[in-house]
Each structure stands twice: as structure tokens, then as C-alpha cells.
Structure 1
């Protein structure tokens, strides 16, 4: 067996493993950063949804209070019924502010 050839092969393999580990580290850091950004965005959207939900309490549709918008999970639990009149609110101008 040629020890020089075997040694070069081992060094080449070590370099490839080092490069693969470095790439995994880079991808892991990128994914962690993206995950943090998504969590922050989700939190921001949740706060905006709460604000909008509170703002909707001020309106009435055809003399009745507009029902609070339910989360996707809550809609599934309640049979996914659509809010009355939601299809044409903008065109009818059915909101009345207090």
C-alpha cells in the first residue's frame, strides 16, 4: 500500500468533511435567523389582529354588532360558518360607526 496516496486521500476527506460542517453551520445560522424573524413577525401580526378586533367593536352591520373574527382553530371547532354579510360589506357600505 502506498502511504503517501493514503495520506493524501485522508487529507482530502478531512477537507471535505470540514467544508460540509462549515456549510451546515452556515445553513443552521441562517435558519435560526429566519426563524427569529418569523417569530417576531407573527407576534407583530398577532398584536395588530388584537387591535383590529378591538376596533371592530365600534361598528354595526345593518343595525347589529359585527361578530368578532374567530381564529382558524375556533372556526373549525364551530363548523367554519362565515360571518353574515361579509361578502359585500365594501360595496354596500353597511358599517355604521359610533
Structure 2
């Protein structure tokens, strides 16, 4: 019985991990909050049609979402264009951020 409880707990926690995996990204001195990233990914993900004849890889890129992020006035920089690729588990697979047509490194 204990083994079954442990397996159930492990499955439940592994299901939640993608939600917890998104973090704040700092791009060119501007912090893009994890909450904003999650919101944009979920909005795009839930608007996609279900393709019944297509099998998706769990780790392969499912789709991309693009949005503009305007930093707070105190940051004093222009808007950032964010392009994020994500997989079926809503984990980020790639991220490209540009400001004034120049790619910015994020960490």
C-alpha cells in the first residue's frame, strides 16, 4: 500500500513540475516575470486546435508564442519582442528576445 501511495505522489508531482519549471528571465537588464511567460504560453496552448491524427513528442517543440513585453518605466528601455518555443509539457524549448531588431541574450 505504501508503494502505491509513493507512486501516486511521484506521478502527481511530476505532472506539476512543468508549471514550476518556468522562471524569471533577465534579458538585457530587464526581468521578464515567469508569471507573464506562463500566461502567454497557456493562452496560446489552450487556443490551439486538437489534431487527432498527429502524434506529438513529449520533448519536441509543440508550438511557438510571440508577444511584446514593455518594461516598467523605471527600467528605462524600449519594448522587447519575445518569441518562445514550448513542448507538450509547456516547458520552454527555445527563447529569442529582440530589442530594436537586435537579439538580446537572456539568462
Do both share a fold (TM > 0.5)? no
Structure with larger Rg: 1
Select the structure that is richer in helix.
Answer: 1
Select the structure that is richer in strand.
Answer: 2
